[in-house]
Amino acid sequence: MPHQKRVAAIHDISGFGRCSLTVALPVLSAAGIETAIMPTAVLSTHTGGFTGYTYRDLTGDLRPFAQHWKSLKLKFDALYSGFLGSFEQLEIVGEIFDDFREQDNIILVDPVMADNGELYKIFSPEFALGMKKLCAKADIIIPNVTEASLLVGEPYRTGPYTREYISLLLKKLGDIGPRQVVLTGTFFDEKQLGAAAYDRETGGISYLLADRIDGYYHGTGDVFGSALLAALLNNFGLPQAVEVAVGYTTASIRRTFEAKTDIRFGVDFENGIPQLIKTLNLLQP
């Protein structure tokens, strides 16, 4: 048997509403990857469209979590961070990256902090500077266009975009430090939407787009990031891994759209898992 890959997923966990760890854990596990979780907070539901949710901050548990893992001499093929709710969590996760970095592992940061041209209300403008420091420690970052604009200090533009603008953002994001950048929410017309992938070492840029589906759906960034990492750890190259993630995310949205499910509940990624396993060439003959 080949070496089983292991990921440390550092995200919040919502009891209801498919996002963060309730997406990352099943997707990565289905892809044959051992997934250790480090919850940054526990909520009764996610915060997108729900009111009255409970929230328990676990910032104080993060360092003891990491210290215990370190005492067990655990090693990870990838570390994957998502929503982080404070400057202190940014600082601690940066320390965790330093503690568990290996010569050949992957650090993937989803700099969750903004969308649709606006920073999330819980964050101050300075938060983007702290997130930029964390992104400098990453091998791969996967911002949306709003987050990219904040990270590199470019004015936010509404789409459709030009290839020149997307290329500018990608290269400036690469200058922060990561070897690879995946920019989500990329589109050049109203018919297709997807992601752009940039490899700083080769200078190569790839555009992976799919037919647009109307509406705004919660948790799709976590579906995308988890599928992307699953593909990378199953030895797909960056453009191919992005293509897998775009396809899986789009199919999840389409199922949800056709079922007319309440969009607050997240997208139906579960029924796409068999196809994802097949796409990743994981079915045994």
Which pLDDT band holds residue 2 (cuts at 50, 70, 90)? confident
Measured in whole angstroms, the distance separating CA 89 from the mean position of its chain's CA atoms is: 17
What local confidence, expressed as pLDDT, does residue 285 receive?
64
pLDDT at 131 over 90: yes
pLDDT of 92-119, one tens digit each?
999 999 999 999 999 999 999 999 999 9
Please check the confidence at residue 284 and state whether its pLDDT lies above 80. no
Residues 211-265 pLDDT 10s? 999 888 999 999 999 999 999 999 999 999 999 999 999 999 999 999 999 999 9
Dihedral over Cα of 49, 121, 149, 27: its sign: negative
- Say if residue 168's pLDDT is above 80: yes
Which CATH architecture is the domain 6-271 placed in? Answer: 3-Layer(aba) Sandwich (3.40)
Label the pairing between strands 180-186 and 192-199: antiparallel
Edge-to-edge, what's the strand order for the sheet holding 140-141? 55-57, 34-45, 6-16, 78-81, 106-109, 140-141, 180-186, 192-199, 205-211
User: 47 with 53: CB under 8 angstroms?
Assistant: yes
Cβ–Cβ < 8 Å for 107, 93: no
Q: Domain residues of the chain, as ranges?
A: 6-271
